[in-house]
Amino acid sequence: MTFSDIFKSSFLENVTGVSILDMTLALVLAFGLGLFIFLIYKKTFSGVMYSSSFAVTLVALTMITTLVILAVTSNVVLSLGMVGALSIVRFRTAIKEPLDIAFLFWSIAVGIVLAAGMIPLAVIGSVVIGLILLVFVNRKPHVHPYIVVLQCDGSESERRARAFLDSQVSRCAVKSKTAQKGGVELDLEVRLKDDNTDFVNALADLDGVESAVLVSYNGDYMG
C-alpha cells in the first residue's frame, strides 16, 4: 500500500456522504423542535418532582436521533452496522410518569422525520401534538377529588363520622380501612360540594374522632 492509497480509503470518501448544509440545517431544526418539546414538557408537567435533566434530555435526544438517521441514510452498509450496535444498548432508568414516554417517542420521531427530509411534517406535527397536550394535560376536572384520613377510637365514632361526611360532601367512598385495638383508621375519597373545607374542623371535633386530615388526590396514589 502506497502513501496515496491511504487517501483513497473508503473512510475518507464517506466524509462527503452528507453535505455541510444538510447537516447544519437538520441539526438547527432539531434543536429548535427539541426546544419546543422541552417547553411543552415544562408547561404540561403535573408530576410530583420536576426533573430538569429529563427535560434537557428531550432536546439532546432529538438532535442525537437526527444525527444517527443522517448517517444511516447516507450509507446502506453503515445503517446495518448501526442497527446492530444500537440493538445491544439497554436502558435501565425507570420512567415514573406515563406521559414522559410520549415525550421520549415524540423527540425520537421528530429526529427521524427531520433527518428523512420531511421538514413540514416534523414542524406541523410537533405544533399539533404540542397544542393537543396543552389542551388535554392542563385541563382541570370539574370536581377535584380529595382523600380524608380519619382516625377514630371505635366503630361507633366511625359511624358518626361517616354520617357527618355523607352530609357534607357530594360523594364519599372508602379507599382503605385499618382496624387496630383501640382505634380505626379510614382513608376515604370525597368530592366536595364547593371549595369550603371547614367541615374538616367540625369532623375533628366530633366525639371519638382523634384526627381528620384532608389531602389532595390526583388519582396516581392511594391514601
DSSP, collapsed to helix, strand or coil, labels residue 133 as: helix
CA distances for 200 relative to 24, 76, 83, 189, angstroms? 61, 68, 60, 14
Task: Return the CA Rg of the chain.
Answer: 28
Both 76 and 130 in one domain: the answer is yes
**Where in 62-208 does DSSP place strands (E)?**
145-152, 169-180, 183-192
Residues 124, 45 within the same domain: yes
Query: Are 54 and 104 members of one domain?
Result: yes
Residues 56 and 161 in one domain: no
Per-residue confidence (pLDDT) for residue 217, from 0 to 100: 67
**Is residue 183 a contact partner of residue 153, using CB atoms and an 8 Å limit?**
yes
Q: Give residue 127's pLDDT.
A: 94
Strands of the 209-216 sheet, one edge to the other: 169-180, 183-192, 145-152, 209-216
Among 81, 107, 137, the domain boundary falls at 137
Instruction: Report the distance separating Cα 195 and Cα 207, nearest Å.
Output: 25
Q: So what's the pLDDT on residue 45?
A: 83
Which of the 8 DSSP states describes residue 169? E
153 and 90 within one domain: no
pLDDT of residue 76: 57
Structural domain including 196 reads 145-216
Asked if 164 contacts 206 with a C-beta cutoff of 8 angstroms, the reply is yes
130 lies in the same domain as 29: yes
* CA 113 – CA 125 distance, rounded (Å): 10
pTM above 0.85, yes or no: no
Q: Which residues of the chain have pLDDT under 50?
A: 1, 3, 6-8, 11, 220-223
